[in-house]
């Protein structure tokens, strides 16, 4: 896992990729920005008896008009739980298939994202850190990342009009399962970080003054891998090639089956890989003679980790797991 050196994932990775794909010589991709899918319609093909997605209706939020795309070749549902609920509830054809209605029943967890700008640089032992067992978390889990350490020399963290000498630490904080914090004001959330959590973790934060802050609240948007949810998570292949071959699923929560990757457990990385796998799968059933995108495997675990896993496996054959029921 690596932190991006400059800017954000959106402006440093996604935007350049979209610009490249939108060029005519690279396929002439059309990006429907500001549009939200309302309904996916499915027809049964009389030749092979399978169902195919043929039409998408979407709302252009800028004009307020509902428009449609006819004779579509395929669909990749790169959606989280809320997006899946919205699309499936508005698409009776999809809802009739258990794999999609079950996926639409899953819930997400609340997340709060915070960005803090300080008047001085604070040195930490590690640029990536975790909050744990603080009462002020109110049941949430928390992380904080020192962006000025991850992106040293990136003046964009502060803005082009700020001199380098005036740049203090920039801290990105995230709270997961943050329902107990969602009702707090943005000022109170920032205050919990500056007065309690950060100084308790790194004492030098007590001497730093907050210059600016930003807080974003996102209710129910992050995948909740709750016990018993696995069988309801959407498969990479959707309803399957024997039933609905031109609708695939991508995201950190999909079941990838035999295409499972070593990034399992890493949400952003797994979502990224699943997108390639979904595109490859869709092209296999809708295009002839295409070249699959190569999905690189993760590096092998180091020998000491493998040894520890093997020792643990052998010990657990004899030691009762008293901490689980």
Tell which phi-psi region holds residue 265, choosing left (phi > 0), alpha (psi between -120 and 50) or beta. left
At residue 322, the pLDDT reads 57
The whole-angstrom separation of Cα 282 and Cα 60 is 26
Q: What are the structure tokens assigned to 93, written together?
A: 């054809």
Q: What is the pLDDT of residues 180-202, one digit of tens each?
A: 999 999 999 999 999 999 999 99
At residue 161, the pLDDT reads 62
The whole-angstrom separation of Cα 251 and Cα 267 is 8
Q: What is the pLDDT of residues 48-72, one digit of tens each?
A: 999 999 999 999 999 999 999 999 9
Contact 251, 80 (CB under 8 A): yes
In what helix (H) or strand (E) does residue 38 lie, and over which residues does it extend?
Answer: strand 35-44
At residue 313, the pLDDT reads 87
Could you tell me the CA-to-CA distances from 157 to 8, 28, 204, 226 in Å, in that order?
10, 33, 21, 36
At residue 325, the pLDDT reads 46
The whole-angstrom separation of Cα 174 and Cα 226 is 20
Contact 72, 37 (CB under 8 A): no
Contact 62, 34 (CB under 8 A): yes
- For 83-149, where are the E strands, in sequence order? 108-118, 128-131, 141-146
pTM of the model: 0.84
In this structure, the dihedral spanned by the alpha carbons of residues 301, 302, 304 and 308, taken in order and rounded to 10 degrees, is 0
Burial 157-171 (b: 16+ CB within 10 A, else e): bbeeeeeeeebbbbb
Question: Which residue ranges of the chain lie beneath pLDDT 50?
Answer: 325
């Amino acid at each position: 896992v690596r932190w991006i050196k400059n800017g954000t994932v959106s402006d440093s990775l996604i935007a350049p990729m979209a610009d490249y794909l939108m060029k005519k010589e690279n396929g002439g991709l059309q990006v429907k920005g500001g549009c939200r899918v309302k309904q996916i319609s499915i027809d049964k093909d009389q030749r092979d008896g399978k169902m195919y997605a043929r039409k998408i209706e979407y709302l252009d939020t800028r004009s307020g008009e509902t428009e449609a795309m006819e004779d579509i070749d395929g669909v990749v549902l790169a959606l989280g739980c809320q997006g899946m609920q919205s699309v499936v509830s508005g698409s009776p054809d999809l809802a009739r298939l258990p794999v999609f209605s079950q996926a639409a029943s899953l819930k997400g967890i609340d997340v709060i994202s915070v960005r803090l700008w300080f008047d001085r640089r604070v040195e930490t032992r590690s640029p990536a850190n975790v909050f744990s067992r603080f009462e002020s978390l109110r049941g949430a889990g928390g992380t904080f990342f020192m962006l000025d350490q991850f992106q040293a020399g990136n003046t964009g963290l502060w803005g082009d009009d700020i001199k380098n000498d005036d740049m203090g630490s920039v801290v990105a904080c995230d709270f997961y399962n943050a329902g107990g914090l969602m009702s707090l004001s943005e000022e109170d959330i920032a205050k919990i970080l500056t007065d309690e959590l950060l100084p308790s973790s790194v004492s030098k934060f007590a001497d730093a003054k907050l210059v600016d802050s930003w807080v974003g609240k996102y209710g129910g948007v992050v995948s909740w891998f709750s016990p018993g949810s696995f069988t309801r998570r959407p498969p990479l292949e959707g309803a399957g090639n024997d039933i609905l071959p031109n609708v695939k699923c991508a995201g950190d929560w999909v079941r990838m089956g035999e295409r499972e990757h070593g990034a399992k457990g890493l949400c952003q990385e797994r979502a990224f890989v699943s997108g390639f796998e979904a595109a490859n799968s869709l092209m296999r059933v809708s295009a002839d003679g295409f070249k699959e995108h190569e999905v690189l495997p993760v590096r092998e675990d180091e020998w000491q980790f493998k040894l520890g896993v093997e020792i643990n496996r052998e010990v657990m054959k004899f030691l009762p797991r008293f901490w689980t029921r």
